[in-house]
Amino acid sequence: MGRVFVAGSINMDVVATAERHPKIGETVAGKEVLYFPGGKGANQAVAAAKQGVLTTLIGRLGEDAFGRDLRTFLAAQSIDLGSVKDTAGAHTGTAVITVAKSDNTIVVIPGANALVDAADVAAASFAKGDVAVSQFEIPLPAIAAFFGHARASGATTILNPAPARAVGRELLDLVDILVLNETELGALTGAELGENDEPMYFIEAARPLRGKNRSVCITLGRRGVLALVGGEAVLIPGRNVKAVDTTGAGDCFVGALAAQLALGKEIRDALAYANAAASICVQRMGAAQSMPTAAEVAAVLR
């Protein structure tokens, strides 16, 4: 069995729930304030570890109360935290999130995440069959070093280019599998896309990202996932569930996909599995703590 290595952000999510999102300049009364472990890197590592795959997280925390709480939570998920550094003089990454009617807005203050560097990721000891995962909440040079190292050892690389920003050819050339939503697809390709566009429109927009043999997976929220695998379009419909909080759904998808690939599963099967895992995640509040176990996903797929 391969392992999963995630280089990425670790945040405390400070979540305000309300009946609706405020308009710019408006104040609305909230219902609750909640503190949830989050950060795209941590969420994806939890999602992979809960599938029973050995998972290493590489990242940074501040030397503060959020950092200590997050380390305790992540250790309890059986994640290898040997490469998570406590960083003096920086605060732990913090995300300020509003959740209303299952949808969210997020402001991320990176703190220690912004200090992850190439030396931090050099410790990962990859072997063939391992899977390396990253996202855009740590600096790009660290991601490039991480993927370069993974590729040189025969590991598979997965990039989730979120939050959306353009990506240079050099980094893209190190990516085997891209997992992105329609906003991120627009940022990478310059295409004008809306969440309700026809699936085939997304596939055409994604084709230039395919390169020689890259798989491109576009997550479509409740509509499921669309992928270009070996040049062929694959549509996996979303599962009909009642979403309460979609924060971390994309991360659940990425982590579950990485775990399935580390277990040696074929990509189409791994995508269907990740779609089922993410449909469980959206039915729970919070990000990292809403990731399902392998038994929960198996029950949905039965």
Binding positions for ligand RIB, rule: CB under 6 A? 9, 11, 13, 38-40, 43, 95, 106, 108, 137, 247-248, 250-251, 287
When asked if residue 284 is in the footprint of ligand ATP (CB under 6 A), the reply is no
Task: Name the token pair of 174.
Answer: 């190190």
Catalytic status, residue 245: no
The Cβ of residue 69 has, within 10 Å, a number of other Cβ atoms equal to: 15
The interface mask with ligand ATP, positions 117-156, x = CB under 6 A, is: ----------------------------------------
For residue 40, the minimal CB distance to ligand RIB (Å) is 5
Q: Which of the residues 161 through 180 are near ligand ATP (CB under 6 A)? A: 162
| From the list ligand RIB, ligand ATP, none, partner contacted by residue 98 (C-beta under 5 to 8 A by kind) | none
When asked if residue 181 is in the footprint of ligand ATP (CB under 6 A), the reply is yes
DSSP letters, 106-121, are: EEEE-GGGGG--HHHH
When asked if residue 221 is in the footprint of ligand ATP (CB under 6 A), the reply is yes
Determine which residue in the list 278, 288, 291, 297 makes contact with ligand ATP, applying CB under 6 A: 278
- Name the amino acid, one letter, at 208: P
**Toward ligand ATP, which CB reaches closer, 110 or 248?**
248
From the candidates 64, 197, 251, 269, give the one annotated as an active-site residue: 251
**Toward ligand ATP, which CB reaches closer, 43 or 156?**
43
Given the structure tokens 């703190």, which residue do they identify? 111
d(CA 92, CA 103): 25
Alpha-helix residue ranges (DSSP H) falling in the chain: 40-49, 65-76, 118-121, 140-152, 169-172, 182-189, 199-206, 249-262, 267-281, 294-301
Angle at 83 between CA 257 and CA 145, to 5 degrees: 70
